[in-house]
Copies of this chain bind each other. A is one copy, B any other.
Amino acid sequence: MKILVIGAAGMIGRKLTARLRKEGAGELILHDVLPFDGASAVSDLSTPGEAEKLVASRPDLIFHLAAIVSGEAEADFEKGYRINLDGTRGLFEAVRKAGGGYRPKLVFTSSIAVFGSPFPPAIGDEFLNAPLTSYGTQKAIGELLLSDYSRRGFFDGVGIRLPTICVRPGKPNKAASGFFSGIIREPLAGQEAVLPVPETVRHWFASPRAAIDFLMHAATLDSAKLGTRRNLSMPGISATVGEQIEALRKVAGDKAARLIRREPDQTIMRIVEGWPQNFDARRALALGFRADASFEEIIRIHVADELQGTPQPRTNSA
């Protein structure tokens, strides 16, 4: 089996690649816009002709993970639409035009950013897409195209709406959502973290490990079970910031929790207010997608996968 991963250099892309290699899933074609170790192809997907090159070898399975992230798509309107809309559509068109009965499986990473407030207490599978960002708009359009191209038989698509990935490994970034990971990741590394919102703020999370499980499950899902609705909200963990901190305390002790410094930021609070807090991801659960067990487990996965099993503060106090 030939597998194309678009956006292979990102955090999810790298973890997915490692998992596909470990499982001996097949021949991997790894693509990103920037050079990276193990790259098969480096190009801007939105440049005419590039998507055609990527599908020329007729991969059986395509993971389309590439995207301009939320903050950048909001700051650079044209770039966001070019990559997230035109890039995605260009890929879909390349597959459609390949012809000769080519009909690959295609897994598209969408986002809970396709939803915008006001929300019901838990967002169900029939709730409207009313995004409040350009990124969310572009993902929602990608979902619609995926459904129509699948219905037409051009490929066999599944769109999965990932919860906010937590704990994101690596350095802090400037994303408005960055603190959800930062208040766990930094204290676990013995470093101070800034919390810009009150502890009552609630959000929807999945570990990187759960995200990779979602992608692998989507790739092998019998799409006959999806019917015509091919985009699914993934299951996750709904937790308040207070619950996040309590879980951190359980895993790494008081010392870690004390490294969180409250520094309210009105701008971030306003942005976060428009974000989903909770889902009723019934369809995905019925189709066999599995969430993390608890926010505590989400932290333990980070400790196991990124910190060789040992949080920093505990080590210090030992």
Residue ranges of A at the interface with B (Cβ–Cβ < 8 Å):
77, 116, 120, 125-132, 134, 137, 140-141, 144-145, 147-148, 151-152, 228-229
Which residue from B77, B147, B229 sits with its C-beta under 8 Å from A137? B147
B148 near A228 (CB under 8 angstroms)? no
Q: Is the CB of B129 within 8 A of A144?
A: yes
The quantity of this chain's copies bound in the complex is 2
- The residue on B at minimum CB distance from A148 is B137
CB distance from A53 to the nearest CB of B (A): 21
Pairwise interchain contact B126-A147, C-beta atoms closer than 8 A: no
Given A128-B128, A132-B228, A141-B145, 5 additional A-B pairs, CB 8 A: A130-B228, A131-B147, A137-B147, A141-B144, A144-B144
Task: Verify A137–B145 contact, CB threshold 8 A.
Answer: yes
Q: For residue A189, give the distance in angstroms from its CB to the closest CB of chain B.
A: 38
A-B contact pairs, 13 of them (CB 8 A): A116-B228, A120-B126, A125-B128, A128-B128, A128-B129, A130-B147, A130-B228, A130-B229, A132-B151, A132-B228, A134-B152, A140-B144, A144-B144
Docked Cα-Cα span, A130 to B151, in Å, equals 12
- Complex contacts, A130 vs chain B, CB 8 Å: 147, 228-229
Which of A116, A128, A144, A145 has the most C-beta atoms of chain B within 10 angstroms of its own C-beta?
A: A144
Contacts of A132 in B (CB 8 A): 151, 228
What CA separation (Å) do A140 and B145 show in the bound complex?
Answer: 10
